[in-house]
Amino acid sequence: MFKHNYILYDIVKRSDVEYFEQTIIAFDLDENNNHTVTSINSSLGDKTIDFCKEHNDAQIISLWDSKAEIEKYNIGGNKRPNQLDFIIDTLEHFRNWYIIQNLSFPISDYIHQQPQRKFKYQEYEELFNRFRSDNNANPDMVKRALNNIAYFKNPSAYLAKARKNAGLTVAELKALPGFTWIDPKGTAKD
C-alpha cells in the first residue's frame, strides 16, 4: 500500500552539539517534486547511528514494496507516475544518507530477492493470453485494457506480435469472445 510519508533518521551536529533528527518526507502534489521535507530535532538520548540505520533499513523496505506495488498497478493516469516519482526521490534522500555514513545501501540486497520485472511486451502478452483463454471475457474491457495507449505506447504492434506468437490468424482471434472488436472493417491481413 502506498504510504504518504517516510521518516529518515539521523544524528546531526549543530554548534558542536549532537541531535537526533527525524526528517519527514511527505507526498504533496502541490509542492515542487511532489514532496515536502521537514526536519525535527530532539535530544540525542541513547540514539546511535546503528539505531538510525535499523530504522532507515525498515523505511527502505517499505519504500521498495510501495514502488513494486505502484509499478504493478500502473495502468494509466497521473496518480501512479506521481507516486512513483515521490518514491524514487525519497529513495534518493535515503541513498544519500547511506553514502554520507559510508554504509552500504540495503536495497541492493533487497532487489535480488524481488521477482525480475517484466518488459512491456511480456506484460501485454500475458494480458492477451489471459483474455484469450477467458470464455466470458467482456470485449469492451479487453479492448480498454489492451489498447491502453498511456501504458502500452504502441498497442497495435503488441497485439500483432501476441497474436502471431499464439499462432492465430486475425479471423481466429476475432472469433474469440473477448476479441470481437478486432478489425471491424475486415481489412486486416495475416
Note the pLDDT of residue 163: 92
What are the residue ranges spanned by the domains of the chain?
5-113, 120-179
Q: What's the maximum distance between 2 C-alpha atoms anywhere in the chain?
A: 79
pLDDT bucket at 2, cuts 50 / 70 / 90: low
Q: How far apart (Å, rounded) are the C-alpha atoms in residues 4 and 26?
A: 6
What average pLDDT does the chain have?
A: 84
**Each residue of 58-113: pLDDT tens digit?**
999 888 888 888 877 766 666 777 888 888 889 989 989 988 888 888 765 555 45
Q: Residue range 39-48: average pLDDT?
A: 92
Note the pLDDT of residue 112: 45
**Each residue of 107-142: pLDDT tens digit?**
655 554 555 667 788 888 988 998 898 888 888 888
User: Does residue 169 register a pLDDT over 70?
Assistant: yes
- The 3 state secondary structure assigned to the chain is CCCCEEEEEEEEEECCEEEEEEEEEEECCCCHHHEEEEEEEEECCCCCHHHHHHHHHHHHHHHHHHHHHHHHCCCCCCHHHHHHHHHHHHHHHHHHHHHHCCCCCCHHHHHHHCCCCCCHHHHHHHHHHHHHCCCCCCHHHHHHHHCCCCCCCCHHHHHHHHHHHCCCCHHHHHCCHHHCCCCCCCCCCC
